[in-house]
Amino acid sequence: MSNLLTIGLYNYAANQPGGSGASFAFILLWMPAVWGITIILTIFLILKRRKRLFVNGTTKWTVATLLFCTPIPLYLSYRLTHPTPETLLSGGSYTPKDGKIYKSENWYYTSNYRQRYVDMYFVADSIEERSKGENAYKKDSTWIYFTRTGDTLKVENYKNGQLISSKQYANK
């Protein structure tokens, strides 16, 4: 029951607009409350009914049931259905200048967060960015991709969203 409640609260928090505080409340209030109450009730029931729960024939079913009274199966199923991506966006910035907005993104390998994968650069017209949002940004500048060992993988040159040149150096 707690796992179902957790899934419902997670989906609710994930579908709220940014800045509403729902994700923050999920992590700091809802999860500790749900799992704190569940663990306390489980301990109470175990202590009260231990003579019936831990009898020879029912011990393995009792332990399996107790395992499902924790967030462990929920976490394991989440990890199976949402594998860790190979690369991860670690940061970025927006810099307005002369009627344009310059955006940069920094990507790293998830297996080694210190190893850079690529720095991406985009440009958008300020007026177009107001109406189209993120869709207004076009690829711009030189993007250098790196392997996991830090060698140059490839170099791409962009201008106004068009690929000008691309050169492959090494295999992953």
d(C-alpha 156, C-alpha 144), whole Å = 7
pLDDT band at 103 (very low <50, low <70, confident <90, very high): very high
Average pLDDT of span 17-43: 84
Give 146-162 pLDDT, tens digit per residue. Answer: 988 888 999 999 998 99
* Confidence tier at 172 by pLDDT (50, 70, 90): low
CA-closest candidate to residue 143, choices 170, 124, 163: 163
For the chain, which residues make up each domain, given as ranges?
2-81, 87-168
Distance of CA 126 to the CA centre of its chain: 29
**pLDDT of 36 higher than 90:** no
156 forms beta bridges with: 143, 166
Q: Please choose, from the candidates 82, 85, 93, 44, the residue with its C-alpha nearest in 3D space to the C-alpha of residue 66.
A: 44
Query: Any idea which of 18-27, 103-112, 147-156 has the lowest mean pLDDT?
Result: 18-27
- The strand pairing partners of 109, in sequence order, are 87
- What confidence tier does 139 reach under pLDDT thresholds 50, 70, 90? very high
